A and B are shown apart, each in its own frame.
Chain A
Amino acid sequence: MSVLQMQRISICAMKKDRKAILEDLQSLGVLEIDTSAVQDEELMRMDTLESRQAFEKNANAADQALEVLDEYSPEKKSMFASLEGKELIERANYLNVAERRDEILRKTNQIMALKKAIAESKAGIVKLETQKESLTPWLALDVPLNYRGTKRTAVLIGSIGSVLPLEELYQKIAEHVPDLDAVDLQIISVDKDQTCVAVICLKENAAALEEALRTLGFARPSQNVSEVPARQLEKLDAEIAELRQKIARTEDEIRTFADRREELRVFSDYFRIRAQKYEVLSRIPQSGRTFFITGYVPKKKAKGLEDKLEQKYSLSVELEEVSEEEDVPVLLENGKLAGTMEGIVASFGLPGKGEFDPSKVMFFFYIFLFGLMLSDAAYGFIIFLACAIVLKKFPRMAENMQKSIRMFMYCGLSTMVWGILLGGYFGDAINVISRTFFGHEVGLDPVWFAPLDDPMKLLIYSMLFGVIHLYTGLILKGYMCVRDKRYVDLICDVVFWLMMLTGLIMMLLPSELFRSISQMNIVFPAAVNTLAKVLAIGGAVGILLMSGRANKNPLLRIALGAYDLYNVTGWLSDVLSYSRLLALGLATGVIASVINQMGSMLGGGIVGVILFIVVFIIGHVFNLAINVLGAYVHTCRLQYVEFFGKFYEGGGREFNPFKENTKYVDIKEDTRL
């Protein structure tokens, strides 16, 4: 249906136009370059790795500079910033930045240098803090740490690696150096793993004393500072303060670059685009004077591209249909409604070779099933409104995001319709509010019926919708067979199955089993009953005989047929799977009424109203979120497993054109194809 047809385009042009042509192709973004098939000894490929890396480095530098700016001068961003999409800028603006790229690169480097300075200062502070810490035990000392004594006395300053009281120290020293008389020992500080001491003695005893102290684990302090510790501490504090100030100044300086943000973004994208161009340049074959590009272009844009290029340059363009064997990339186009399904299709797999785009058929079923699973008019309206506002407010949202939000908007509409049909407005909120706060109960009656009153009825309908959905899948398979003129496959794989299934369903409807489940009494005339049997048996025999037709061995063929016939159980489980439509629909409604009931527990009155409002808002937001998630996941499942299982495999390759693949801005195009 709407897989865009591709054509192979081959361009041969003069080398002097190379840059201009590539730039044009890139800004048009309609051509996927594929030169893998071109093999010729004469043609050379250029090595552009080095310049590409240089460009990427610049782009990354700008990204990092932007990160730095965000760190020190954060931009005010709304909660919905991710919806805004890329900013659109004029091409003139872009070219202006391109021209001033050296200047901007300097700015980028400046920002990075400032950032580095901050990092260095911070490391400096850490270093000073460590010094401060090692100085703390010595603060009580009133001479410098490297003080060695006066003319006659020696001072030994250091720490002992264990906690020892003063008496014990004297005792230990006396044990080691018994003939020592003039020694003065002061404990400067004690903490849990060391004792800091200052020992004064006569110079001639110093060596012996130090030897004695060493046996106790004495060590001189590692820092060799010629200041009194307390003063040294002040100095360190001053240095730290200075570094802090320097950091603040540097941060301010970085902030002055905040208004350069715009430029940096464009700059980053400029180099990104150039790197992409050079990547392509390295892939295209070139001869001495000419170069050669070949690739895929959507057919409806091909002519325009050809005309545009021929007008502007002297070159040769050749268009040809793609051959059967080629691995052609897939691009979908489905317009505003069914286009919303493309994301869902793509996440299963784009249409493979010979398959068509299921988006259009899927669109109807997706919206229909989603609505039935959520089925609450108020929830539907909220979803619809929220999506509509977002779409209106952020017109430049990324395309895929826009598609998903539009899809949810339609799903919201469908939910609203189902809610009105099945009578859900925040569950039973209208009844509860009128009963609790206004004394008499009013309520909106469901237009169709309330599922909780008659769940079996909705269950039967769910399965009916399932049968329709699955039949559609099978018929689409038939459509593909007709399109490819595989009539035998059409009869054997589609018609026989349709016959058998229809026959079986027609046999089931008037049966006792169905009557007891559905309380519906269906009586067919005898002719119809006979027809049902004929259809079922005919289909079954057809499948038994024809399913294994690829096999020559008649026994094996019948065995394969019998195995295929067994797939009827698969159909049964597929149909039963649609019972989730009922279950999820009920879940929404019942949880909503639990919330309403909880809210109304305190009855009327001011307190009751406040409690109700709080419970109502929190509860319904929760219920909405969890059920939208459930409806989304299970609708996808019904599409992927049950529906696609009948006819669709996917496996196509996404169309990936050579374009300006930017990160921050979109550049306004002067011309479009």
Chain B
Amino acid sequence: MSGIVWALAGAAAAVIFAGMGSAYGVGVAGQAAAGVVTEDPNKFAKVLILQLLPGTQGIYGLLVAFIALSKIGLLGGSPADLSVTTGLLIFAACLPIAVVGLVSARHQGRTSVASIGIVAKKPEQFGKAMLFPAMVETYAILALLISILAINAIPV
């Protein structure tokens, strides 16, 4: 397999797994949010924010994939001639956000569901409710950071 295949597989993995995680997270949070809105439509804005929180991993995945694609020149239409080692390096660099994105978005989604429960019962505690999902996101951000730094540092 030539290097570019590995690099593309990495970019694809970043989008696929992080996106899957976010889809799940936003999905479960959305179900809980819809339940709250049936009871009290005024809480729409608050629960919507909580629902969106697990959505960021998917965006981080997209971001890493985009950096990877532009690194290997696929976006410009003239793909670089990569050695297998370089391709594998890019693949490995994409893994943090792919794996951590998947797992953290799922957990963040469940935390969001619990936080939506807080908002349903005690809307004035919104600030605190928002914090719990944000704590989970930290690890996605750390993974994103390493993925970006790593891809940026790989010489092509």
Q: Which residues of A contact B (CB under 8 A)?
A: 344, 346-348, 452, 455-456, 459, 576-577, 579-580, 582-584, 586-587, 590-591, 594, 597, 626, 629-630, 633-634, 636-637, 640-641
Contact A590–B138 (Cβ < 8 Å)? no
Hey, what's the 0/1 contact readout for B113-127 against A, CB within 8 Å counting as 1? Answer: 000000000001111
- Are B152 and A587 in contact, CB atoms less than 8 angstroms apart? no
Q: Which 10 pairs from chain A and chain B are nearest by CB?
A: A347-B127, A580-B141, A637-B134, A583-B145, A583-B141, A633-B134, A590-B63, A594-B66, A583-B144, A579-B145
> Once the chains bind, are A641 and B148 in contact (CB under 8 Å)?
no
Q: Which residues of A contact B124 (CB under 8 A)?
A: 347
- Chain A residue nearest to B48 (CB atoms) is A629
Closest to B63 in A: A590
CB distance from B37 to the nearest CB of A (A): 16
B149→A597 contact, CB < 8 A: no
Q: Chain B's nearest CB lies how many Å from the CB of A438? A: 19
In the complex, which residue of chain A has the Cβ closest to the Cβ of B66?
A: A594
Give 27 A-B contacts (CB < 8 Å), ordered by A residue: A347-B125, A347-B127, A347-B128, A348-B128, A452-B152, A455-B149, A455-B152, A459-B149, A579-B145, A580-B138, A580-B141, A583-B148, A584-B141, A586-B148, A587-B59, A587-B144, A594-B63, A597-B75, A626-B59, A629-B52, A630-B56, A633-B130, A634-B137, A636-B127, A636-B130, A636-B131, A640-B127
Q: Does the CB pair A347–B126 fall under 8 Å?
A: yes
Q: How many A-B residue pairs have CB under 8 A?
A: 74
Is B135 in contact with chain A by the CB < 8 A criterion? yes
Distance in angstroms between the alpha carbons of A630 and B52 in the assembled complex: 10
Contacts of B134 in A (CB 8 A): 633-634, 636-637
The docked-state distance in angstroms from the alpha carbon of A587 to that of B135 is 18
Contacting A626 at CB < 8 Å: which of B52, B75, B128, B131?
Answer: B52
Residues of A within 8 A of B154 (CB): none
In the complex, what residues of B have CB within 8 A of residue A590's CB? 63, 66-67
B49 an interface residue at 8 Å Cβ cutoff? yes
> Shortest distance in angstroms between B73's beta carbon and chain A's nearest beta carbon?
13
Say yes or no for B142: interface residue by CB 8 A criterion: yes
Tell me, rounded to whole Å, the shortest Cβ–Cβ distance linking B94 to chain A: 14
Q: Which residues of A contact B138 (CB under 8 A)?
A: 577, 580, 637
Known: A459-B145, A630-B56. 14 other contacts (CB 8 A): A347-B124, A579-B141, A579-B142, A580-B141, A583-B144, A583-B148, A586-B63, A590-B63, A590-B67, A591-B62, A633-B49, A634-B134, A636-B127, A637-B138
Task: Categorize the interface residue count of chain B.
Answer: 20 to 34
| Assembly CA distance A630 to B57 (angstroms) | 11
A-contact bits for B78-89, CB 8 A (1 contact / 0 none): 000000000000
The chain A residue with its CB closest to the CB of B149 is A455
Interface residue B101 (Cβ < 8 Å from any Cβ of A): no
Which residues of chain B have a CB within 8 Å of any CB of chain A? 49, 52-53, 55-56, 59-60, 62-63, 66-67, 75, 124-128, 130-131, 134-135, 137-138, 141-142, 144-145, 148-149, 152
B62 touches A594 (CB 8 A): yes
In whole angstroms, how far apart are the Cα atoms of A594 and B69 in the complex? 11
- Residues of chain B within 8 A (CB-CB) of A637 are 131, 134-135, 138
Q: Could you say which of B49, B60, B131 contacts A587, with CB atoms under 8 Å apart?
A: B60
- Which A residues are CB-close (under 8 A) to B125? 347
CB-based contact A641/B149 at 8 Å: no
A63 → chain B closest CB, angstroms: 15
User: Shortest distance in angstroms between A345's beta carbon and chain B's nearest beta carbon?
Assistant: 9
Cβ A591 vs Cβ B131 within 8 A: no
Residues of B within 8 A of A452 (CB): 152
Asked whether, in the complex, the Cβ of A626 is within 8 Å of the Cβ of B145, the reply is no
Give the distance to chain A from B28, nearest Cβ to Cβ, in Å.
Answer: 19
Q: Which residues of chain B are within 8 angstroms of A587 by Cβ–Cβ distance? A: 59-60, 63, 144
Say how far A143's CB is from chain B's closest CB, in angstroms. 52
B56:A626 contact, CB within 8 angstroms? yes
When distances are taken between beta carbons in the complex, the residues of chain B under 8 Å from A459 are 145, 149
A348 to chain B, nearest CB (A): 6
Nearest Cβ in chain A — how far from B16, in angstroms?
A: 17
Residues of A within 8 A of B53 (CB): 629, 633
Residues of A within 8 A of B75 (CB): 597
Query: Are A629 and B66 in contact, with the CB atoms below 8 A?
Result: no
C-alpha spacing A471/B63, complex, angstroms: 33
Given the interface contacts A348-B127, A630-B56, A633-B134, does A455 sit within 8 Å of B148 by beta carbon? Answer: yes
B8 to chain A, nearest CB (A): 17
Chain A residues closer than 8 Å to B130, beta-carbon distance: 633, 636
Is the pair A591, B63 in contact by a Cβ cutoff of 8 Å? yes
Q: Are A582 and B131 in contact (CB under 8 A)?
A: no
Give min CB distance, A65 to chain B, whole Å: 20
Across the interface, name the chain B residue whose C-beta is closest to A456: B149
B90 to chain A: closest CB distance in Å?
Answer: 16
Assembled-state Cα–Cα distance A347/B126 (Å): 7
B104, chain A: closest CB distance, angstroms: 13
**Within the complex, what minimum Cβ distance (angstroms) separates B129 from chain A?**
9
Tell me which residues across on chain B come within 8 A of A576, comparing CB atoms.
142
- Report the bound CA distance from A181 to B31 in whole Å: 70
What distance in Å separates the Cβ of B141 from its nearest Cβ neighbour in chain A?
A: 5
The residue in B53, B55, B56, B124 that gathers the most chain A C-beta atoms within 10 A of its C-beta is B56
Q: How far is the CA of A590 from the CA of B60 in the complex (A)?
A: 10
Q: Which residues of A contact B144 (CB under 8 A)?
A: 583, 587
Q: Are B49 and A629 in contact (CB under 8 A)?
A: yes
Closest CB in chain B relative to A49 CB, distance in Å: 27
B135 to chain A, nearest CB (A): 7
